[in-house]
Structure 1
Amino acid sequence: MTSWAGPGGEARKLNDRYRLLNPLGAGSVRLAFDEAEHRDVAVRELRVPPELRDAAMFEARRATGLRHPSVVRVLDVLIENGAPWLVMEFVSGMSLEQAVRSRRPLPVPQAARVGVCVLSALSAAHAAGIVHGRVDPGNVLLTATGRAVLAGFGFPSLSTLPSADLWSLAATLHFAVEGRPPGQVPAPGADPFRSLVRAMLHPSGPPPLEVVRETLDRLAVDRPLDAVVAAAGPLPPQRVAAIGLAVLDRLATSGAFHGGVQPGNVLIDDAGRAWLAPLPRPGTLPAYTAPEGAATPAADLWSLGATLFLAVEGVPPAPGAPLTRAGALAPVLARLLSGDPAGRPTMDELRRELLTIAAGLA
């Protein structure tokens, strides 16, 4: 057992500089005071087999060069009585694991903000040739200001593949919103956050990094259209037409079948602008799936019509459901929701009609 006191009972020092103080939590990390820099630090013995010590020390010293706002910095690596030690930045906060277990799972926007921070930290590490290898809820610290920082750099990595870090990030985000690891059956749900997490956990590998980053960025600050309608009620036809234009532009830019146009995947920012989340893997809710069940642009347009129906009426479409609030948007929605794909407008026709309504000219 490690002794934390010197021969006379005084607090022990490492390298005649770091005065050891109280334990931090239940782990082996300990608070210390850096008498040279007059600051609190965290220290931990680097326990590895003797034959791996040199390699572990090399990796730990490499980690001292990693600088990022969402990384708990490794400040120093030293040998004390033949044992290697890490000296790390002291970050005041609670681990994600502690926060979820002692309170409750995080709301999606907060979990997405955690993902933004940790993904940014991992991207910086990977660019420097460093794989973390130990991303888990215990190594993600939540500060009082809401910033998430990633601890655990400087320890021997359990993997050499950056993709393993992304899988572990997804498992960590799953724990953040579900309160449990993903196991063999990740949580279901058609919302963009859970869809993204499941895609990142898929055996075929994660989606492109830019898709992951952009989706987390949006989810951290924007609200899904269905949540906006649930909170504020049906939206005015002009505003719904503007949302339709934004989604249509996204569909036209991709040029491919989206397969997930539905209110939960349409995100609204504080200014009311809409953004269609990329879908890592197709999957539309039944109420927003075209009757022909085909993977075509015309099917996406039907789903867009059903999404705009909910936005302006407050409920998903149903056979024979009346359009009581849609105003000038009603005939456009009727054509979009045609059971015959040939009866739906083209993208260019739809854009012209939505522009007219959004401008208040209809």
Structure 2
Amino acid sequence: MSEVPGEDRLIAGRYRLLGPLGQGGMGIVWRARDEVLGREVAVKEVRAPSGLPASDVQRLYARLEREAWAAARVSHRNVVTVYDVATEDSRPWIVMELIRGLALSDVLDAEGPMPPQRAAHIGAEVLAALRSAHGSGVLHRDVKPGNVLIANDGRVVLTDFGIAMVEGTSALTMTGELIGSPEFLAPERALGRTPGPESDLWSLGVLLYAATEGNSPFRQNTPLNTLRAVVDEELPPPRRAGPLAPVVEALLRKDPAERLSAAEAEHRLRIVAAGGTPRTAGAGAADPHGATVTAGTTAPATPFPATSFPSPASSATSAYAPEERSRRAVAVLAVGLAVLLLAVGGIVWTLAHKGDDKNAGGSTGAPGPGPTSSAPRSAPATRVTPDADGSPGAGGAGNTGNTGTSKPPPQTVTVHLTPVRDSYEGTCPPPHTEAPAFEATITVGRTPVQVEYRWALKDGTSSDPGWQSLPFGAGDGRSKQVSHTELTYRQDTTYHGTITLEVRSPVAVTSNGVAFSVTCRTETPTDGASATAEGASAPAGD
């Protein structure tokens, strides 16, 4: 710790440290005051492990700074906001939103296991944060109760985006102890394979299991035994999860390709959170709210390629036969011993250098403009345009002949809509900050392109009916978010509506529909007709 708690220190001439909030493997989080804007913030002081060469330390700090800025691009109510990356003593200091509340780990320690309905609500909010991050090309890699905050106002916030990517991959300290919690690592990460969005879904499944059962399913007496259990052991059946159990089990499938899709998982979690019991479906089931319209066989590009995960050729239904489990156990132990010998010096050197490349699938920045090699396993609303000659198109990058050039792949547009607030009850017109609000993720197959869209209600009305433009530049990522607050209501009654996002260019596609309600409690002198208020929110995707 660089300073004694309570001792004033000004960082970057702007952020005055007031006292420590917590300490982790690579630094300490301070409560601080932004002297320019006059508000309290959280400042994470980051320190490299001792004993590293100066050149490696600087590369590590430069990578941390780049990843923090990448995390700052994730804009979502369930994600802690990164305000700034300041430099002091040649080190980055990550300035973040200050959340007043308790970590989920503290809540579980104090109250014990949660009812399935409450755990499902927290899980759905965390998953909404992950989906927004994955759409921006950012993996979390450290989803666990200690990184989930329950704010005093009930907001669920996922913290340590971007920063956790470096901490999660710095596997060992100088003394050989694991940084982080190995029981939350996905099997593919325990085996040293490249993680993808499915790895974060596994960690969410472990979090939900721990929240309802009171303990994580694979924890053992040593880190290496825990990693072996993550790879080889069967999931202990949940006893307290009730209607949440099928969701947890579907998220904790060893093979990432067989895990429940993020869209379907969030849908089921919200049903459980509302007191219902979701219908179960196969792994990777499509989002029941979504629709797919395609021309040809080309699938839409996604920010991350699918993570390959080997399974024995002898059985299509048993991905973990006894012989394979033995080989995996040997692999895990071998990896653990090798990492123990390498220690943190070699690992941090790798982290410090890999930021200079553009990694496929593991990059913390936004995805590049070209199409990726995989198609999503869920199906939000998608449309594919044919080539100019009317054919379905080349079907992806890399289809070049021996001579000449290939056609570009057909353009695709994928839209998925999620609620931020889906109901309001009180005096009308509803305040803008309390009215139903929604966020849509728009993903295109290639850039540059300009998407024209509008918000529409099922009954044909909307408080924001005009067409709007969302540009994707040549250097932009392929996913952007837009948000909307719906101000339509009916006096002295409850208005039930369903909202969608319609795209007309470069192709026509309509998102899944999200239901919402507005209940007006105070009588006003109106004729009871549907009223549409002015001033809907502007898009927040840029």
TM over 0.5: yes
Q: Distance in 2 between matches of 1:187 and 1:30?
A: 40
**1:200–1:207 CA contact under 8 A, matched in 2:** yes
Cα shift at 1:155: 0.4
Match of 1:16 among 13, 16, 28: 13
Cα shift at 1:279: 4.1
Cα shift at 1:188: 2.8
Aligned to 2:245: 194
Q: 1:280 to 1:148 in 2, by over 3 A?
A: farther
Other structure's SS at 1:29 match: strand
Give structure 2 stretches of 5+ with no counterpart.
Answer: 49-55, 170-194, 219-232, 284-542
As a proportion of its length, which structure holds more helix?
Answer: 1
Q: Distance in 1 between matches of 2:102 and 2:264?
A: 29
**2:11–2:88 CA contact under 8 A, matched in 1:** yes
Query: What does the per-residue CA deviation read over 1:284-312, in whole Å, with 9 as the maximum and x for residues that have no partner?
Result: xxxxxxxxxxxxxxxxxxxxxxxxxxxxx
Q: Distance in 1 between matches of 2:164 and 2:139?
A: 10
Aligned to 1:33: 33
Cα shift at 1:199: 1.5
Does structure 1 residue 163 correspond to structure 2 residue 194?
no
Cα shift at 1:191: 3.2
Q: Distance in 1 between matches of 2:13 and 2:4?
A: 14
- 1:17-166 paired onto structure 2 within 5 Å: 17-25=14-22, 27=24, 28-48=28-48, 50=57, 51-157=59-165, 158=168, 160-166=195-201
Q: 1:10 to 1:146 in 2, by over 3 A?
A: closer
TM-score by length of 1: 0.59
Q: Distance in 2 between matches of 1:4 and 1:81?
A: 17
Cα shift at 1:222: 2.0
Q: 1:156 to 1:95 in 2, by over 3 A?
A: closer
Cα shift at 1:67: 1.1
Question: Counterpart of 1:143 in structure 2: which amino acid?
Answer: A
Question: Counterpart of 1:186 in structure 2: which amino acid?
Answer: P
Question: Counterpart of 1:221 in structure 2: which amino acid?
Answer: A
Q: Distance in 2 between matches of 1:46 and 1:100?
A: 28
Other structure's SS at 1:203 match: coil
98-107 or 41-50, which deviates more: 41-50
Other structure's SS at 2:85 match: strand
**2:103–2:146 CA contact under 8 A, matched in 1:** yes
Q: 1:125 to 1:140 in 2, by over 3 A?
A: same
- 1:214-233 paired onto structure 2 within 5 Å: 214-223=267-276
Cα shift at 1:192: 3.0
Q: Distance in 2 between matches of 1:179 and 1:277?
A: 26
Aligned to 2:217: 182
**2:131–2:262 CA contact under 8 A, matched in 1:** no
Query: What does the per-residue CA deviation read over 1:34-58, in whole Å, with 9 as the maximum and x for residues that have no partner?
Result: 1111111111122346132222211
**1:4–1:20 CA contact under 8 A, matched in 2:** no
Aligned residues: CA RMSD: 2.1
Aligned to 1:211: 264
Aligned to 2:332: none
Cα shift at 1:4: 4.5
Cα shift at 1:280: 4.8
**2:115–2:212 CA contact under 8 A, matched in 1:** yes
30-39 or 145-154, which deviates more: 145-154
Other structure's SS at 1:84 match: strand
> Percent sequence identity over matched residues?
38
Q: Distance in 1 between matches of 2:117 and 2:282?
A: 19
**2:138–2:162 CA contact under 8 A, matched in 1:** no
Question: Counterpart of 1:217 in structure 2: which amino acid?
Answer: R
Query: What does the per-residue CA deviation read over 1:301-341, in whole Å, with 9 as the maximum and x for residues that have no partner?
Result: xxxxxxxxxxxxxxxxxxxxxxxxxxxxxxxxxxxxxxxxx
Q: Distance in 1 between matches of 2:33 and 2:63?
A: 28
Other structure's SS at 1:21 match: strand
Question: Counterpart of 1:61 in structure 2: which amino acid?
Answer: W
Q: Distance in 2 between matches of 1:103 and 1:139?
A: 18
Cα shift at 1:10: 5.2
Aligned to 2:446: none
TM-score by length of 2: 0.40
Aligned to 1:352: none
Match of 2:280 among 260, 278, 281: 278
Q: Distance in 2 between matches of 1:44 and 1:4?
A: 15
As a proportion of its length, which structure holds more strand?
Answer: 2
Q: Distance in 2 between matches of 1:24 and 1:156?
A: 17
Say which one has the larger Rg. Answer: 1
Q: Distance in 1 between matches of 2:272 and 2:94?
A: 35
Q: 1:46 to 1:15 in 2, by over 3 A?
A: same
Other structure's SS at 1:24 match: strand
Other structure's SS at 1:186 match: coil
Question: Counterpart of 1:167 in structure 2: which amino acid?
Answer: W
Q: Distance in 2 between matches of 1:32 and 1:154?
A: 21
**1:192–1:279 CA contact under 8 A, matched in 2:** no
